C-alpha cells in the first residue's frame, strides 16, 4: 500500500475500477471511491467520465459523502450540463430538509453550478431560503444571490431578489446583514449607476449597529461598504468616525485597515480647527504602528498603505520614524518598503538618525536594498537642506568602499545633489573622476558624463575624459550616447578652441552613423544651432537649469486621492487604480475623497487641495529625472517638439560654417519631390514621414477647390470653414433613420457633426459608429454619444470627435469616407466626402525660407493650376479667411497689379501643401496653383 | 473577492485546489507554480500579479498557500484569511505538512466550503466549526442541537457555545512578552519596544462575563484623580503607558473605547485575549557590550560582555548569544567565563549558551577569529550580535490587577474560580550592532 492512497492513482484502467466501486452496494466503499475521484480531480486529472456514477451517490444521508459529491458537481457540471440536470431534484429536495445545515449546503452548492437550466430551478428554493427562519440559511442565501447575479444578472432583477436582499440589511442577525452588504456591494459594482446600495442615514445606522456584533470578516464587509458613503455634513461625518474608531483596536489587521480607510475618507469633511479632528489624527498613529508587528505579508500590505497615508497626511506618523527602521531579519520586500517610508518621514528633526541608519544599510548584502539605501541618502540631501553636507560626506565614504554598485549609485545621486545645490559641493568632482573606470551601468555613466560636461571648465582634462567615452560610442546605450553628445557640445561652448575636432567627431557619429532617430535629431539640432548662431546656442545649451524639486516620486494627487479610497485593497498594494489591473466593468468607477464641508480657507482640506495648493513639481522617477531636452535629459525624450531655431537670417549659404560635414545636412534640408519620405521632414519639422500617394495633386486640387470657394460662404466668421450639412443617409434606405451631417475642425479637433432623425415608428437606441479604412486614417476618437433613445419623429444632434490614427487605405476619390452606423434595428452603410481643409493642422505655417526652398525643389509636374471664379474678396480678406481654415499666408507680393499670396498648409499626416494664390484687383477670378 | 485557493507542496504539486469564481481557470494553478514556486529569484513580494491575476501567498514550513483573484480585493483580509486558514487546519490536525494535508484532504475541502463562500470569508472560529465539521460525520443530531449550531455560527457570540460545564472553574493567564532592541555599538538604544500578548486558558461553566484589569496608566490615572493624591503618585510609578493594543473579537471594543474597560465573554479553552505594544520605560534584561578589532587582514579579535539587569533573586534562562563571523573564517579560538561557546561554521557564527544567569551579574567571552585572505573587495557586512533569553517577568512592567468572573445564571461566584497568572519575557529581535 502506498502512503497516501488517494493521491496515487493514474491510468485509464482505474477509471473503470472506480466506476465499479462507485456503484458498489457498500457505503464505505462508495465513499472511499468518491474520495479517490476528488483526489484525482485536485491534481488536475480528468475524471468527468464518472459523472453519472458520482451523481448517483448524491442521494445519501451521509453529510460528508454528500459534500464530496457536491464538490465534484461544482467542478464538472459546466462541462456536462445535460447530466447535471439529474442532480436538480436532489437539490430541490435538500432545500426543504429539516436540517438547516443541509438546506444551506444545498443552496450554497446550487449557486456554484453555472448551468442555465439549473439556475432556473434555483429561483424558487432561493426565494424560500432568503426568508428561512434559520439565520445560517439566510446568510448563505444572501451570498447565493451574488452568485446568481454573476451567472444571470437579468434573472436576479426579474425575480426581485435584489429587493429581498436589501431587506436583509435590516435583518436581526448581524452575520446575515454582513453577507447581504457584501453581496449588494458586489452587485452594485457592476451597475455603477444603479441606486442599489441606497446608503442613507438610516441604513448607515443599521450597519454601524451590526458592526459591533458580527464576525471579524463581517466587520470588514461593512467597513468597506461604509467607505463608499458620503456623509451629508461634518456632524454626520464625525458621528460615524466616533463609532468606527473602536475598530482600530481589533486584532484583525484587515478590520483595522478598513477602519483607517473610513476615517481617512471622512476626515476630509471635518473642519481642521475642530478638537475632534486633532484627536482623530492622534488615534490613527498607534494602530498603524501596531500593524508592523503583524506577520511579514501583512506588514507589507500595511507598509504600502502607510506609504499612501504618509503622502496624504504626513502629520499622523511624523514622530514614528523609529518603527520603520529596518530589522536585519525582515524579508526584503518589507525592507524596501520601510526604506521608502523613512525617506518620506525624514525631516530636519530626525535626519541624523536616519542618515546613520541609511549608512548602516548601505553595507548590507542584498544589492537592490543597498542601492535603494544609497539613493535614499541622496534624496535626504535634496529634501533636507541642512543635511546636504552630511549626506555628501556619507556618500563619499561609501564611494571609498569601492564596492562597484555602491559607487555607481552614489554617483547617480551626487549628480542630483549638484543640480539641487549648484556651486556648493563641486570640490568632490576629483574623487568622482577617480572612479570613472569602474562605471559599467548606463545610468551611472550618463550621470558621470553629465557632471563632466556641466563642470567642464573646472575639470582640466574634461576633453580627455569625454574622448575616452567616445571611443566606444556605438556600444553605449542611448542614454549614454545622448548625454555624451550634450556634454561634448557643452564642452565645446565652454572651451571652443581645443575641442572643435571632438565636437565634429561626436556630431558626425550622432548624425551619420547612428540608427537612433532621437540621437540623430538631437545631433542635427546642435549642429544647426552651432552653425547658425553660436551665441544663441550658448544661451540654449548652457541655460540656467530649473532646480530639482525635493520629492521625486510623489504619487500624482488625483491618483493618491483615489488610492486613499482603496486603502487595504490590492489597488493600494500596487499603487495603481483598480482599472489598471481589473478586467471588465468592475472597479472601473473612480473613487474620490469627499470635499471638505467647512473651512474652505484652510489650504489643504479635501479635494480643494489639488486646486488651492500648488502641488510640488513632480519629477516622475529617477530615470527621466531631467526631462530637459536641450540640456540634460538622460533618457530619450518621447516628444521632441520642433527646435526653437533662431528665426533671423538663416541663409542657406551660411550653413557651411563647419565645413564639409555640413553638406549632407544642407542636402537634407532640400525637400525633394519625394517629400513625405525624406528624413529631413522628420528632422527639420518634427512631422512624421509618411509615404505619399503618387497621384496626389488632382484630388487635392479638388478639395482645395472646395476650400477656395470663398464666394459661397462670405458671411462666415473667422472660424474654420465647414460646409453645410447634407443628407448622407436618406430615411428610405435605412429603415427610417435619416442622417445628415458635415465635418468641421473645432479647436484643433476634427469633428463629424450629425443630425440623427428617427422617421420610423419605433424607438431607436444603442447607436454605434465605425469607419472603413480611409486615406487619412480618420477614425472615431470615442464612441458615438447618443445616450438617450431617439423616439419617433425625434432628432438629435451629435458631434463625434475624430482622430487620424486609424488604419490608412487610399480611397477614390481621396476624401471619401465609408461609414457604418448601427442601432437596435440594423446596420447601415453610407459614404460621404469630407472637405480636405478639415485636415489642415494648426502648425502648418512654414518658415519663409523653407517655403522658398521647398517651392523650388518640388518638380513642376507636381503642380496643379485652376481658377476660382466669382470671388469678390480682396487679397487680405481672403488671406485672413483662409487662415481661419489653417491655410497660412507666408508672403505676399504685388507684381503688375496682381497680388500673389504664398500659402502653406500641413495635413494631419504630415504632408505639406504649398499654394500660390493670384488675385487681380477688379477681376473676380483667382488663379491658384498648388504644389506639394 | 477570493477567486480560488490552492495549496502546493515544496515541489509545486497541487495538494488542494478549490475554485470559487468563474474567472479563475485551471491555468492559474500552473501560473503560480511556474512564476513563483519555480522562479529562479528569491520571492520579492507576497503579492504577485501574473497576467492580470493576483496571487497572495504565505508559506508554512515547505507548504505554499495561495489565494487567487482577478478583482480589487481587500488584500489585508486575504492575508488574514490565509493565516486563519492555517490556524484552523492546525487546530484540526496539527502541523501543516504535506503528509497531514494529504491525509486530511477531504476535511480541508469541507472546511474550505464552510469558511469561504463565493470567496467571502465566513465564521472561522474553530470552536464553532468543530461543533459541526467533524471527521466522524454528524450523527443523530436533534433539531435543538442543529439550531443551536446554526445560531452559534451566525450569532453574536460565535466563539462560545452554551451549556459548557466544568466541575472546577479555573482560568490561566499568561502574560507573554517579547522585547525587541536595536542598540548601537556605543550602547545607545536605537529602538526598543515590547510586544506583548495576554493568552488566556479558560475552563469556566456557562456564559461567564469577565472583566480584565491591568496597570494601564490611563486607567490608574483616572482612578488616582478620585482617590488620595499620594496614592495616585505611588501607583503612577507602577503603571505603564501602553502605546496601542488590539483585542480578540470577544472583547467589546466600544466599551474599551469609551471607558477603557476590558469586558468580554471568553471562548472556551485557549485563545489570545489581547496584544499590546509599549515603548516607554522598558526594562532591558540584558546589555551587550561588543568590541571587535580587526588585526591585519587575516585576524579579528572579538570581546563581548553581557550584563544582566534585573532583580538578583530572579533567574534568566536559555541564554544564547550569537556572534556573527565573516564568511572567510578559517578558525576560531574562544574563551568564555560561563556557559559553553562554539564556533558553528555552517551558521557563520559563534554561539555562546548559558543555561541560567541571575540578575545583576556579568559575563564575558573573547574570541580570536582567523581569516583566509581573499581578494573579495566586498567588505564584511558585520551583522549585529543577537541574543535570546527567557526571564520570569514582564519587561514592559505590565501587571495583571484583576480578572473578575460573573456568571449570574450558575451558582458560582468570582471567589470560586481558581486563577493563575504567569509572566514570561522573551527576547524578540534583540540586537546590538558591532
Domain membership of residue B297 (yes or no) is: yes
Where a domain ends, among A790, A806, A836?
A836
The alpha carbon of residue B416 is apart from the nearest alpha carbon of chain A, in Å, by 30
Mean residue pLDDT of chain A comes to 78
Segment B383-411, tens digit of pLDDT = 889 999 999 999 999 999 999 999 888 87
State residue B364's pLDDT score: 93
Examine the domain organization and report whether A791 and A890 are in the same domain.
no
In-domain check, residue B161: no
Residue A497 domain flag: yes
Rounded to 10°, the helix A100-112/A135-151 angle is: 10
Between chains, do B110 and A586 touch, taking CB under 8 Å as contact? no
Query: Looking at the predicted structure, is the pLDDT value of residue A766 above 60?
Result: yes
Question: If you average pLDDT over residues A696-715, what whole number do you get?
Answer: 39
Half-sphere exposure of B354 (CA within 13 A, CB side): 26
Residues of chain A positioned with their CB less than 8 A from the CB of B118:
111-112, 143-144, 146-147
Answer yes or no: is pLDDT of A631 > 90. no
Is B193 in CB contact (< 8 Å) with chain A? Answer: yes
Same domain? For A495 and A478 the reply is yes
Q: With respect to residue A17, please indicate whether it lies within any of the assigned structural domains.
A: no
* Same-domain check for residues A776 and A818: yes
Residues of B in contact with A325 (CB under 8 A): 182, 190-191
Determine whether the interchain pair A99/B141 forms a contact, defined as Cβ–Cβ distance below 8 Å.
yes
Does the annotation flag B165 for ligand binding? no
Closest approach of B209 to chain A, Cα-based (Å): 16
Residue of A nearest to B26 (CA): A44
- Indicate if A852 and A795 belong to the same structural domain: no
Contact A246 B253 (CB under 8 A): yes
How distant is the Cα of A113 from the closest Cα of chain B, in angstroms? 10
Same domain, A732 and A829: yes
| Domain closes at, from B374, B389, B404 | B389
Instruction: Please indicate whether, in this complex, the C-beta atoms of A100 and B150 are within 8 angstroms of each other.
Output: yes
Q: Is B342 annotated as a binding residue?
A: yes
Three-class SS string for A107-157? HHHHHHCCCHHHHHHHHHHHHHHHCCCCHHHHHHHHHHHHHHHHHCHHHHH
pLDDT at B41: 77
**What pLDDT does residue A864 have?**
72
Chain A residues whose CB is inside 8 A of the B182 CB are 325, 327
Chain B nearest C-alpha distance from A361 (Å): 9
Instruction: Give percent of chain A above pLDDT 90.
Output: 21
A825 and A879 inside one domain: no
Helices A63-76 and A100-112: crossing angle in degrees, nearest 10, is 10
- Shared domain check, B192 and B86: no
In B, minimum Cα distance to A98 occurs at B143
Identify the weakest region by mean pLDDT among A1-15, A192-206, A793-807. Answer: A1-15
The parent domain of residue A520 ranges over: 458-532
Predicted local distance difference test score (pLDDT) of residue A288:
94
Residue A715 has pLDDT above 50, yes or no: no
Least confident stretch, A203-212, A648-657, B166-175, B191-200 = A648-657
For the beta sheet containing A795-803, the strands, ordered from the edge strand earlier in sequence to the opposite edge, are A726-729, A737-746, A749-758, A795-803, A779-780
> Residues 29..58 of B with a Cβ closer than 8 Å to A: which?
29, 42-47, 49, 52, 54, 56-58
CA–CA gap between residue B113 and residue B110 (Å, rounded): 5
What residue numbers bound the domain in which B39 lies? 2-128
ipTM of the complex: 0.83
The verdict on B123 and B10 lying in the same domain is yes
Q: What is the CATH number of the domain that holds A773?
A: 2.60.40.1150
A497: closest CA of chain B, how far (Å) = 42
Please judge whether B429 and A329 are an interchain contact, meaning their C-beta atoms are less than 8 angstroms apart.
Answer: yes
Point out the domain boundary residue: A488, A511, A532. Answer: A532
Q: How confident is the model at residue B237 (pLDDT cuts 50, 70, 90)?
A: low
Do B396 and B271 lie in a common domain? yes
Residue A569: closest C-alpha in chain B: B74
Q: Is B419 domain-assigned?
A: yes
Same domain, B254 and B385: no
Instruction: Estimate the crossing angle of helix A216-226 against helix A253-267, to 10 degrees.
Output: 20
CA dihedral B3, B7, B10, B15 (to 10 degrees): -130
Total number of domains in chain A:
3
Q: Are residues A821 and A730 in the same domain?
A: yes
A476 or A643: which carries more pLDDT confidence?
A476
Residue B149 inside a domain? The answer is: no
Q: How far is the alpha carbon of B262 from chain A, nearest alpha carbon, in Å?
A: 12
Nearest to A333 among B46, B143, B383 (CB): B46
B253: contact with A, CB 8 A cutoff:
yes
Nearest CA in chain B to A8: B102
B353 is an annotated ligand-binding site residue: yes
Q: Which residues of A touch B58 (CB under 8 A)?
A: 295, 297
B93 at interface of A, judged by CB pairs closer than 8 A:
no
Asked if B380 and B396 sit in the same domain, the reply is no
pLDDT of residue A924: 57
* Cα–Cα dist B261/B254, whole Å: 10
**Residue B65, domain CATH:** 3.30.450.60
In-domain check, residue B227 = no
| Residue A812, in any domain of the structure | yes
Assigned domain for B154 exists: no
Task: Look at A872-886, B115-129, B261-275 and tell me which has the smallest mean pLDDT.
Answer: A872-886
Point out the domain boundary residue: A532, A550, A573: A532
Would you say B340 is a known binding-site residue? yes
B376-415 residues touching A, CB cutoff 8 A: 377-379, 381-384, 386
- Tell whether B355 is in a known binding site: yes
Contact A51, A80 (CB under 8 A): yes
- The answer to whether residue A359 sits within a structural domain is no
Does one domain contain both B373 and B293? yes
Give the pairing type, strands B120-121 and B116-117.
antiparallel
Do A779 and A878 belong together in one domain?
no
Confidence of residue A930 (pLDDT cuts 50, 70, 90): low
Neighbouring CB atoms inside 10 A of A500's CB total: 13
- Measured between CB atoms, which of A182, A287, A360 is closest to B244? A287
Strand-pair partners of B220: none
Q: Which cell numbers hold the place of A83?
A: 447530466
Residue A925 lies in a domain: yes
Other Cβ atoms closer than 10 A to A330: 19
Predicted confidence band of residue A147 (pLDDT cuts 50, 70, 90): very high
Number of domains in chain B: 3
Q: How far away is chain B from the Cα of A175, in angstroms, using its nearest Cα?
A: 6
* Residue among B80, B120, B151 whose CB faces A253 most closely: B80
pLDDT tops 90 at residue A874: no
Q: Which of A9, A104, A150, A215 to mutate to test the interface with B (most CBs of B within 10 A)?
A: A215
pLDDT in tens, A88-101: 888 888 889 888 88
* Whether residues B260 and B381 fall in one domain: no
Q: Where are the alpha helices (DSSP H) in B33-190?
A: 75-93, 98-103, 105-115, 126-132, 143-154
Of A420, A372, A353, A363, nearest to A392 by C-alpha is: A420
**A325 to B190: CB separation less than 8 angstroms, yes or no:** yes
- Each residue's pLDDT tens digit, B305-342: 999 999 999 999 999 999 999 888 999 999 998 999 99
Contacts of A112 (CB under 8 A, 6+ apart): A74, A147, B20, B118
Looking at residue B424, which CATH number applies to its domain? 2.60.40.1170
Q: In sequence order, what E strands does A566-630 have?
A: none
Same domain, A815 and A730: yes
Give the residue with greater pLDDT, A732 vs B345: B345
CB contact under 8 A, A251 and B275: yes
pTM assigned to the model: 0.70
For cell 544564547, name the residue. Answer: B320
Kindly tell me the sign of the dihedral angle through the C-alpha atoms of A882, A887, A892, A896: negative
Residues A746 and A806 in one domain: yes
**Residue B39 cell numbers, joined:** 522562479
A332 lies in a domain? no
* Span B37-62, average pLDDT: 89
CB pairs below 8 Å between A and B: how many?
A: 275
Judgement on whether residues B94 and B182 belong to the same structural domain of the protein: no
Helix (H, G, I), strand (E, B) or coil at A615: coil
A311 vs A713, higher pLDDT: A311
Query: Among A135, A250, A586, whose Cβ lies nearest the Cβ of B246?
Result: A250
In a domain, A767, yes or no: yes
Co-location of A815 and A873 in the same domain: no
Look at residue A644 in the predicted model and tell me its pLDDT: 38
| Three cell numbers written together for A267 | 476626515
Q: Is residue B242 part of a domain?
A: yes
Question: In this structure, what are the phi and psi dihedrals at residue B392, rounded to the nearest 5 degrees?
Answer: -90, 40
What phi, psi does A797 have (nearest 5°)? -105, 130
Asked if A36 and A9 touch (Cβ cutoff 8 Å), the reply is yes
Residue A126: which of A99, A153, A94 has the closest Cα? A94
CA A32 – CA A21 distance, rounded (Å): 8
Least confident of A151-155, B125-129, B220-224, B227-231: B227-231
CB burial string A360-387: b at 16+ within 10 A, e below: bbbbbeeeebbbbbbbbbbbbbbbbeeb
Tell me the chain B residues in contact with residue A98 when contact means C-beta distances shorter than 8 Å. 143
Does A913 share its domain with A814? no
CATH number at residue A907: 3.30.310.10
Asked if the structure places residue B163 within a domain, the reply is no
Chain A CB within 8 Å of residue B151 CB: yes
* Cβ of residue B428 closer than 8 Å to a chain A Cβ: no
B404 and B320 assigned to the same domain? no
Query: Is residue A66, in this structure, part of any structural domain at all?
Result: no
Say whether both B51 and B101 belong to one domain.
yes
- The answer to whether the Cβ–Cβ distance between B72 and A566 falls below 8 Å is yes
Q: What is the mean pLDDT of residues A253-282?
A: 92
Instruction: Give the mutation candidate from A223, A254, A403, A589 for the B interface (greatest B CB count, under 10 A).
Output: A254
Name the residue facing A300 among B46, B105, B120 (closest C-beta). Answer: B46
Please answer yes or no on whether B256 and A249 come within 8 Å at the CB atom. yes
Same-domain pairing of B415 and B366: no
Amino acid at each position: 500500500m502506498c502512503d497516501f492512497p488517494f493521491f496515487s492513482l493514474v491510468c485509464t484502467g482505474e477509471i473503470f475500477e472506480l466506476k465499479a466501486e462507485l456503484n458498489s452496494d457498500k457505503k464505505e466503499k462508495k465513499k472511499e471511491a468518491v474520495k479517490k475521484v476528488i483526489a484525482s480531480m485536485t491534481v488536475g486529472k480528468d475524471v468527468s467520465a464518472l459523472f453519472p456514477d458520482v451523481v448517483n451517490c448524491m442521494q445519501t444521508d451521509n453529510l460528508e459523502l454528500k459534500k464530496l459529491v457536491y464538490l465534484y458537481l461544482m467542478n464538472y457540471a459546466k462541462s456536462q450540463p445535460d447530466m447535471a440536470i439529474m442532480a436538480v431534484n436532489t437539490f430541490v429536495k435538500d432545500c426543504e430538509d429539516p436540517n438547516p445545515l443541509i438546506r444551506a449546503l444545498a443552496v450554497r452548492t446550487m449557486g456554484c453550478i453555472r448551468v442555465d437550466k439549473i439556475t432556473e430551478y434555483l429561483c424558487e428554493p432561493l426565494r424560500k431560503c432568503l426568508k428561512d427562519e434559520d439565520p445560517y440559511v439566510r446568510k448563505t442565501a444572501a451570498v447565493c444571490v451574488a452568485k446568481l447575479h454573476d451567472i444571470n444578472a437579468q434573472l436576479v432583477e426579474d425575480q426581485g431578489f435584489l429587493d429581498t436582499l436589501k431587506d436583509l440589511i435590516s435583518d436581526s442577525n448581524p452575520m446575515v446583514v454582513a453577507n447581504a452588504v457584501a453581496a449588494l456591494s458586489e452587485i452594485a459594482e457592476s451597475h455603477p449607476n444603479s441606486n442599489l446600495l441606497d446608503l442613507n442615514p438610516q441604513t448607515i445606522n443599521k450597519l454601524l449597529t451590526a458592526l459591533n456584533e458580527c464576525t471579524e470578516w463581517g466587520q470588514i464587509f461593512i467597513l468597506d461598504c461604509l467607505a463608499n458613503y458620503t456623509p451629508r455634513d461634518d456632524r454626520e461625518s464625525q458621528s460615524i468616525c466616533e463609532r468606527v474608531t473602536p475598530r482600530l483596536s481589533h486584532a484583525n489587521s484587515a478590520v483595522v485597515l478598513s477602519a483607517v480607510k473610513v476615517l481617512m475618507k471622512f476626515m476630509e469633511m471635518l473642519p481642521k480647527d475642530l478638537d475632534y479632528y486633532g484627536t482623530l489624527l492622534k488615534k490613527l498613529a498607534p494602530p498603524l504602528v501596531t500593524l508592523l508587528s503583524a506577520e511579514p505579508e501583512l506588514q507589507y500590505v500595511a507598509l504600502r498603505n502607510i506609504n499612501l497615508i504618509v503622502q496624504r497626511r504626513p502629520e499622523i506618523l511624523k514622530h514614528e520614524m523609529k518603527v520603520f527602521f529596518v530589522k536585519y531579519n525582515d524579508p526584503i520586500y518589507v525592507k524596501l518598503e520601510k526604506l521608502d517610508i523613512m525617506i518620506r518621514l525624514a525631516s530636519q528633526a530626525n535626519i541624523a538618525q536616519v542618515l546613520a541608519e541609511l549608512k548602516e544599510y548601505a553595507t548590507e548584502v542584498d544589492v537592490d536594498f543597498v542601492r535603494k539605501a544609497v539613493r535614499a541618502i541622496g534624496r535626504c540631501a535634496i529634501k533636507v537642506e541642512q543635511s546636504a553636507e552630511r549626506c555628501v560626506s556619507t556618500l563619499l565614504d561609501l564611494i571609498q568602499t569601492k564596492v562597484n554598485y555602491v559607487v555607481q549609485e552614489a554617483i547617480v545621486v551626487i549628480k542630483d545633489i549638484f543640480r539641487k545645490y549648484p556651486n556648493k559641493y563641486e570640490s568632490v568632482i576629483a574623487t568622482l573622476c577617480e572612479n570613472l573606470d569602474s562605471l559599467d551601468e548606463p545610468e551611472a555613466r550618463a550621470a558621470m558624463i553629465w557632471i563632466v560636461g556641466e563642470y567642464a571648465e573646472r575639470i582640466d582634462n574634461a576633453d580627455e575624459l569625454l574622448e575616452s567615452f567616445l571611443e566606444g560610442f556605438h556600444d553605449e546605450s542611448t542614454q549614454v550616447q545622448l548625454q555624451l553628445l550634450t556634454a561634448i557640445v557643452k564642452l565645446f561652448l565652454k572651451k571652443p578652441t581645443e575641442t572643435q575636432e571632438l565636437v565634429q567627431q561626436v556630431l558626425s557619429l550622432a548624425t551619420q552613423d547612428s540608427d537612433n532617430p532621437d540621437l540623430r535629431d538631437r545631433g542635427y539640432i546642435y549642429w544647426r544651432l552651432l552653425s547658425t548662431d553660436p551665441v544663441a546656442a550658448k544661451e540654449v545649451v548652457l541655460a540656467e537649469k530649473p532646480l530639482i524639486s525635493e520629492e521625486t516620486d510623489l504619487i500624482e494627487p488625483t491618483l493618491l486621492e483615489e488610492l486613499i479610497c482603496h486603502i487595504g485593497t490590492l489597488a493600494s498594494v500596487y499603487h495603481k487604480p483598480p482599472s489598471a489591473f481589473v478586467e471588465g466593468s468592475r472597479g472601473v468607477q473612480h473613487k474620490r475623497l469627499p470635499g471638505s464641508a467647512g473651512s474652505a480657507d484652510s489650504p489643504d482640506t479635501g479635494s480643494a487641495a489639488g486646486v488651492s495648493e500648488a502641488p510640488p513639481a513632480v519629477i516622475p522617477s529617477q530615470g527621466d529625472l531631467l526631462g530637459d531636452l536641450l540640456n540634460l535629459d538622460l533618457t530619450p525624450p518621447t516628444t521632441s517638439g520642433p527646435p526653437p531655431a533662431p528665426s533671423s537670417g538663416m541663409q542657406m549659404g551660411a550653413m557651411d560654417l563647419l565645413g564639409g560635414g555640413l553638406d549632407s545636412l544642407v542636402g537634407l534640408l532640400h525637400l525633394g519631390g519625394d517629400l513625405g519620405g525624406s528624413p529631413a521632414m522628420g528632422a527639420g519639422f518634427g512631422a512624421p514621414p509618411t509615404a505619399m500617394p503618387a497621384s496626389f495633386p488632382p484630388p487635392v486640387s479638388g478639395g482645395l477647390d472646395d476650400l477656395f470657394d470663398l464666394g459661397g460662404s462670405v458671411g462666415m466668421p473667422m472660424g474654420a470653414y465647414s460646409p453645410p450639412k447634407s443628407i448622407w443617409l436618406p430615411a428610405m434606405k435605412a429603415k427610417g433613420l435619416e442622417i445628415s451631417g458635415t465635418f468641421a475642425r473645432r479647436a484643433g479637433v476634427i469633428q463629424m457633426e450629425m443630425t440623427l432623425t428617427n422617421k420610423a415608428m419605433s424607438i431607436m437606441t444603442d447607436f454605434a459608429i465605425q469607419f472603413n479604412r480611409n486615406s487619412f486614417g480618420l477614425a472615431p476618437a470615442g464612441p458615438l454619444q447618443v445616450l438617450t433613445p431617439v423616439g419617433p419623429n425625434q432628432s438629435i444632434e451629435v458631434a463625434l470627435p475624430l482622430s487620424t490614427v486609424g488604419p490608412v487605405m487610399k480611397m477614390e476619390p481621396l476624401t471619401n469616407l465609408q461609414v457604418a452606423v448601427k442601432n437596435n434595428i440594423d446596420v447601415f452603410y453610407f459614404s460621404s466626402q469630407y472637405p480636405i481643409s478639415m485636415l489642415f493642422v494648426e502648425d502648418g505655417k512654414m518658415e519663409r525660407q523653407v517655403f522658398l526652398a521647398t517651392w523650388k525643389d518640388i518638380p513642376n509636374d507636381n503642380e496643379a493650376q485652376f481658377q476660382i471664379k466669382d470671388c469678390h474678396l480682396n487679397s487680405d480678406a481672403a488671406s485672413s479667411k483662409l487662415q481661419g481654415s489653417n491655410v497660412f499666408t507666408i508672403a505676399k507680393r504685388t507684381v503688375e497689379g496682381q497680388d500673389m499670396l504664398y500659402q502653406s498648409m500641413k495635413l494631419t499626416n504630415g504632408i505639406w501643401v504649398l499654394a500660390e494664390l493670384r488675385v487681380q484687383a477688379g477681376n473676380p477670378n483667382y488663379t491658384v496653383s498648388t504644389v506639394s | 473577492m477570493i477567486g480560488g485557493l490552492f495549496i502546493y507542496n515544496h515541489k509545486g504539486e497541487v495538494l488542494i485546489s478549490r475554485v470559487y469564481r468563474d474567472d479563475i481557470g485551471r491555468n492559474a494553478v500552473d501560473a503560480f507554480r511556474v512564476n513563483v514556486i519555480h522562479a529562479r529569484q528569491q520571492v520579492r513580494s507576497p503579492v504577485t500579479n501574473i497576467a492580470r491575476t493576483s496571487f497572495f501567498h504565505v508559506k508554512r514550513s515547505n507548504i505554499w498557500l495561495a489565494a487567487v483573484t482577478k478583482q480589487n480585493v481587500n488584500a489585508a483580509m486575504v492575508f488574514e484569511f490565509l493565516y486563519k486558514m492555517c490556524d484552523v487546519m492546525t487546530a484540526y490536525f496539527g502541523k501543516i505538512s504535506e503528509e497531514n494535508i494529504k491525509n486530511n484532504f477531504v476535511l480541508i475541502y469541507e472546511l474550505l466550503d464552510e469558511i469561504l463562500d463565493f470567496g467571502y470569508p465566513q465564521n472561522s472560529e474553530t470552536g464553532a466549526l468543530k461543533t459541526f465539521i467533524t471527521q466522524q460525520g454528524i450523527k443523530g443530531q436533534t433539531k435543538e442541537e442543529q439550531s443551536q449550531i446554526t445560531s452559534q455560527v451566525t450569532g453574536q457570540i460565535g466563539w462560545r457555545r452554551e451549556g459548557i460545564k466544568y466541575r472546577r472553574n479555573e482560568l490561566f493567564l499568561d502574560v507573554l512578552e517579547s522585547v525587541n532592541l536595536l542598540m548601537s555599538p556605543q550602547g545607545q538604544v536605537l529602538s526598543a519596544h515590547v510586544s506583548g500578548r495576554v493568552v488566556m486558558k479558560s475552563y469556566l461553566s456557562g456564559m461567564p462575563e469577565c472583566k480584565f484589569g491591568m496597570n494601564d496608566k490611563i486607567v490608574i490615572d483616572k482612578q488616582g484623580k478620585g482617590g488620595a493624591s499620594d496614592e495616585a503618585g505611588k501607583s503612577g510609578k507602577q503603571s505603564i503607558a501602553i502605546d496601542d493594543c488590539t483585542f480578540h473579537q470577544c472583547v467589546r471594543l466600544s466599551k474599551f473605547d469609551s471607558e477603557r474597560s476590558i469586558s468580554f465573554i471568553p471562548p472556551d479553552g485557549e485563545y489570545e485575549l489581547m496584544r499590546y505594544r509599549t515603548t516607554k520605560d522598558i526594562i532591558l534584561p540584558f546589555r551587550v557590550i561588543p568590541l571587535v578589532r580587526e588585526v591585519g587582514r587575516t585576524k579579528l579579535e572579538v570581546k563581548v560582555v553581557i550584563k544582566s539587569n534585573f532583580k538578583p533573586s530572579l533567574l534568566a534562562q536559555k541564554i544564547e548569544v550569537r556572534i556573527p563571523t565573516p564568511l572567510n573564517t578559517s578558525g576560531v579560538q574562544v574563551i568564555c567565563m560561563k556557559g559553553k561557546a562554539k564556533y558553528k561554521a555552517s551558521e557563520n557564527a559563534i554561539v555562546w549558551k548559558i543555561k541560567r544567569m541571575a540578575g545583576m551579574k556579568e559575563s564575558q567571552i573573547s574570541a580570536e577569529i582567523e581569516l583566509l585572505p581573499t581578494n573579495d573587495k566586498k567588505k564584511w557586512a558585520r551583522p549585529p550580535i543577537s541574543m535570546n533569553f527567557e526571564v520570569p517577568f514582564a519587561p514592559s512592567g505590565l501587571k495583571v490587577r484583576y480578572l473578575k468572573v460573573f456568571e449570574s445564571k450558575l451558582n458560582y461566584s468570582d471567589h470560586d474560580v481558581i486563577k493563575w497568572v504567569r509572566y514570561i519575557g522573551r527576547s524578540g529581535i534583540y540586537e546590538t550592532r558591532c
